[in-house]
Amino acid sequence: MFDRIVLASGNAGKLREFGRWFAERGITVLPQSDFNVPECPEPHPTFIENAIAKARHASRFSGLPALADDSGICAVALGGAPGIFSARFAGDNPKSDAANNAKLSAELAGKADKSCYYVCVLVLVRHENDPQPLIAEGIWRGVWQNEAAGSGGFGYDPHFFLSEQGCTAAELSAETKNRISHRGLALSELKRKIDLL
């Protein structure tokens, strides 16, 4: 169908994860910075709307098929927060994983329910005005752990404890994380949809 796509993100961790998966299928994932794509506004209240907006935006500026994800962590006791604000939960100046983690730990400190889940919505558009974007969603459930553990992953991973694995997401191997994470689950669903084209 295509051999190159642009990733509507500047996140190096996401580029590595998506790049590995698509490379196995002969598809090169290029960062949107290669095409000087300006930052896309994300005014929408849902992961899916923001992902669609980012995919169309990257495709418009690059002229290539584009893949966007909108993802974040949702704490049940906080009504789903930080949700779409996960990357900038503690503010934008500058965005900081450590500050975001500290803020979420503080907000959950007095809560009995520490359950949380990662959400990933992937949107692939074949061109800017694609009338039928491919949309896939993955949800990964865990429990918030105040103490950070592990050096892998990124974002909230050092605090995201997985009962079945007995460790945090940051302590998983890259291979395991790619298979069981919200992003891995969404990628598997996206692959099935691509294979049906």
> Which residues are known to be catalytic?
70
> Tokens 């752990």, residue?
145
> How far does Cα 185 stand from its chain's mean position?
11
Residue 103, CA distances (Å) to 29, 81, 94, 115, 180 in order: 33, 11, 14, 16, 26
Reading the block at residue 125, the tokens are 């558009």
Beta strands 28-31 and 134-144, pairing class: unpaired
Start-to-end CA distance of the chain, whole Å, equals: 8
